[in-house]
Amino acid sequence: MALSGRRGVDLSSAGSLSHAALFAEDQARYVITCRPGDAEGVITEANARNIEVLRLGVVAGESLIVAASASISLDELRNVHEGWFPAFMRS
């Protein structure tokens, strides 16, 4: 989402979640974004419907920040994400 939206994300509030919990794909797991002022309402509504919800972070800046463990600019992330296959094919 960060790459396609060209918006950074700070996942510092994700606490001690593992990288697998944050980034693994799962048919029953969704990441949504909303305006900052709407977050509490979204969480309240999800809880009222018995849907487990966790606030992971905020959309901000031009980097992906994962707590204190990692930070990468979207430009660098895009280069790694989109560039590995062409580099692989050249070798």
pLDDT tens-place string over residues 40-62:
999 999 999 999 998 888 998 99
Facing residues of 59 across strands? 9
- What sign has the CA pseudo-torsion 13, 18, 22, 27? negative
Note the pTM of the prediction, 2 decimals: 0.69
pLDDT of residue 74: 94
Which tokens is 45 given?
A: 């509504």
Rg (CA), the chain: 15
Q: List the one residue out of 5, 18, 3, 2 whose CA is nearest residue 67.
A: 18
Q: List the one residue out of 63, 56, 54 whose CA is nearest residue 3.
A: 63
- Given a cut of 80, whether residue 69 has pLDDT beyond it is no
